[in-house]
Amino acid sequence: MWRTLRSMTQSISQVKATLQYSYDDSGESGREWVTLTADSEGTRTIRALSELDDVGLRRDATITYGPGFRAQDGYIHMAQHGAFLGSGWFRFGKNVVTLEGMTATEGRISQRMDFDEPIGIFAPHPVFLDGWHATQHDPNGPAVQDLRNCITSSPLWHGASGPMICAQHRRIERLPDEEMTVAAGTFACEAYHLIPHAPNRPPIEFWVHGPHKIFVKLRWDHLRATYELTELLTRE
């Protein structure tokens, strides 16, 4: 039986989350429905359906992560204004990522990218997964750390291109823990800044909760946009 989750103090097997996107000046701009399934071996599968009203994008993503939140494989399908935009299947090794896909502009694509260092987080634009940058922050290291070889599916902030392999280096800053109240409830959160490489852009501030780094809230002043958890359910 599903029930509303207010405190995550015990092991869980499945979570359902709903997120709302909004701009300061125009209100609701999108939404996201997420299912997270986790097992006792540390494998997690995310299924995220995202809608972005301002660019007419609908993204359906299913991604499996192994222990340590390391991506194993994932499939993304996107439509824009009701027309096919692109789809692709990603496969990850420790130091390599491959993609087989099709896009409306490039046609059939096959990509491979090799790295000298391990791959970091795979966060292909579902906002829930933006919170998983926190999983790559070393709690025994300095507050500000480099995140190398982060993989996403599009260089655009809204992700409305591709999908293709896009590798980026990022920086993250751990902030003091904070209790955060959103529409879904009140949660004890870890707080972070994701620091853009582009000059003169403010950091992205976000909050996550519990061992699964459940997304609670994200704020980016550059877009004057807020992303918030509106519903959270769990099944033991």
The dihedral of CA 80, 85, 88, 94: what is its sign?
Answer: negative
Q: Considering the domain boundaries, does residue 179 fall inside one? A: yes
Q: Which domain holds residue 150?
A: 10-235
In a domain, 97, yes or no: yes
pTM score > 0.85 for this model? yes
Tell me, yes or no, whether 28 lies in a domain: yes
Residue 3 inside a domain? The answer is no
Using the CB atoms, write b or e for 171-192: b if 16+ within 10 Å.
ebbbeeeeebebebbebebbbb
Quick one: DSSP state of residue 132? G
CA separation (Å) from 223 to 22, 29, 151, 180, 220? 10, 12, 22, 21, 6
Alpha-carbon Rg for the chain in angstroms = 17
Is 4 part of any domain?
no
Residue at 5 is within a domain:
no
Helices (H), 127-221: 127-130
In a domain, 34, yes or no: yes
Would residue 1 count as lying in a domain? no
Sequence letter at residue 17:
A
pLDDT, one tens digit for every residue, the chain (236 residues): 555 545 444 455 799 999 999 999 999 999 999 999 999 889 999 999 999 999 999 999 999 999 999 999 999 999 999 999 999 999 999 999 999 999 999 999 999 999 999 999 999 999 999 999 999 999 999 999 999 999 999 999 899 999 999 999 999 999 999 999 999 999 999 999 999 877 788 999 999 999 999 999 999 999 999 999 999 998 86
Q: Which residues pair with 7 in a beta bridge?
A: none
Domain count, the chain: 1
Closest CA to 38 of 30, 46, 48: 46
